[in-house]
Amino acid sequence: MANLDSDQLEQLQEIGTYLYQARQELSASLEEIATRIFIRPLLLRAIEEADPEPLPEPVFIQGFIRRYGDALGLDGLSLAKNFSVKTAVAHLSAATPTPYVDRPLPPAPAMPEIKSSSPPKRRSQSFKPAPLLAIGAFALVVVGAVVVLPSLLNTPANTPADPPSEPSLPAPEATAPESASVPPPESTAAAEPDAIAPASPVSVSINLTGDSWMRVVVDGQSQFEGLLTQGTQETWEGQQEITITAGNAGAVSLSANGEAAAPVGSPGQVQTVTFTPAAGE
C-alpha cells in the first residue's frame, strides 16, 4: 500500500479523473492499455480511482502516470510532474535528545614509585688483564707464521702465461661439382594413339523449330520425357533401337544414323517413330 499524504491523494484524484476521461474518449479498455504499456489493469484502475491500497511507492506511481498518459496520446511527462513524489515521513519523537554533560575525567592512576636500589658494587681494580692479552696476541702471531710461511716458500715463481692458442678453423668442405641436370631418358615406346570409340549402332539427332512435348526411349529405357523449346538440339545413341514420340511433329526435325534431317510429321500432330541399326525407320 502506498503511504500517501492528503496532498498526494488530492493530486492523484485529479490526475486519475483526467486519465479516465481521456481513455473513455478513445473507447479503449484498461486491458488494452495495460497490454501496451506492461502495467497491470489493477494498478491503472487504482490510479483512475485514486485508490492507494494496491499502489506502490509514490515514485513508481509517478512513472505509471507518465506511461499511462503517453499511451493515451497525452504529454505523460508533464502530467506526471503534477504528482508529488515526496514520501510521507513518520513524525519523530517529541522527546529532546539527552544533552551532553561535561563530566570530569576520572583521575589518572598513580604511577607506582620505583624504589632506587643501591648502586652495584664496582669490581675490584686489582684485576689487570693487560698481560694476558699481550701473551694471547703473541701466540696468534707465532701460529700464523708457522702456517703461512711454508705455503709462501712452496709457491713457484710466476711464469708468463702461455699465449692463447688460435682456434683451429674447420677445414673447408669439399663441394662437389654441381651435376648437370640430365633429362630423363625418353621412352622408347611410341605413344599409343587414343583409341577411337566405335560409333553406336543407332544415333538420332533432333532439331526443334518450335516447342514440342517429347518422349525418348533408348534400348527400352526412358531417357527423356517433357517439353522442349524452340532451338533445342539433342542427340541420343543406342545399341538396339531408339523410339521418339513428338507432340508437335511438324516442329521436330530428325536425323537418324547420319541421314538428312526431316520433319517427323505435320504441325500439331502426335507422331511416334522408331530407329534401329538395320533401317532408318
pLDDT in tens, 261-277: 889 899 988 989 898 98
pLDDT of residue 259: 83
Residue 28 located in a structural domain: yes
Strand partners, 262: 254
Q: Which tens digit of pLDDT belongs to each residue from 142-154?
A: 556 655 555 555 5
Distance CA 160, CA 140 (A): 36
pTM: 0.33
Which pLDDT score is estimated for 45?
96
Residue 158 within any structural domain of the chain: no
Residue 180 is assigned to a structural domain of this protein: no
In a domain, 88, yes or no: no
pLDDT tens digit string along 16-37?
A: 999 999 999 999 999 999 999 9
* Of the residues 57, 81, 105, the one at which a domain ends: 81
Question: What is the predicted pLDDT for the residue at 256?
Answer: 85
Chain position carrying cell 709462501: 152
C-alpha cell at 29: 479498455
Pick from 53-62, 65-74, 115-124: least confident: 115-124
**Residue 181 included in any domain:** no
Which of 81, 116, 134 corresponds to the end of one domain?
Answer: 81
- Tell which residue, 214, 220, 259, has the closest CA to residue 233: 214
Cα–Cα dist 275/202, whole Å: 7
Q: Which residue has the higher pLDDT, 64 or 146?
A: 64
Per-residue confidence (pLDDT) for residue 83, from 0 to 100: 95
Domain that holds residue 59: 6-81
Q: Is the pLDDT of residue 184 over 70?
A: no
**CATH for 48:** 1.10.260.40
- Region 57-62: mean pLDDT is 95
Q: How high is the pLDDT of residue 176? A: 42
Q: Which residue has the higher pLDDT, 140 or 243?
A: 243
Q: How far apart are CA 64 and CA 16, in angstroms?
A: 11
- Chain segment 83-136, per-residue pLDDT in tens: 998 754 443 333 344 443 444 444 544 444 444 444 445 444 444 555 566 666
**Within a domain: residue 133?**
no
What per-residue confidence (pLDDT) applies to 268? 82
Instruction: List the alpha helices (DSSP H) in the chain.
Output: 6-26, 30-37, 41-48, 58-71, 76-81, 130-153
Q: Which residue has the cell 473507447?
A: 27
Instruction: Tell me which of 14, 47, 81 is where a domain ends.
Output: 81
**Which of 8-17, 59-68, 203-212 is the least confident region?**
203-212
What pLDDT band is residue 140 in, cutting at 50, 70 and 90? confident
State how far the alpha carbon of 109 is from the alpha carbons of 105, 112, 115, in Å.
Answer: 12, 9, 18
Q: Which residue has the higher pLDDT, 77 or 155?
A: 77
pLDDT recorded at residue 271: 86
Calculate ∠ Cα 174-176-180, nearest 5°.
165
Least confident piece of the model among 5-9, 40-44, 162-166: 162-166
At residue 237, the 3 state secondary structure works out as strand
Give the chain's domain count.
2
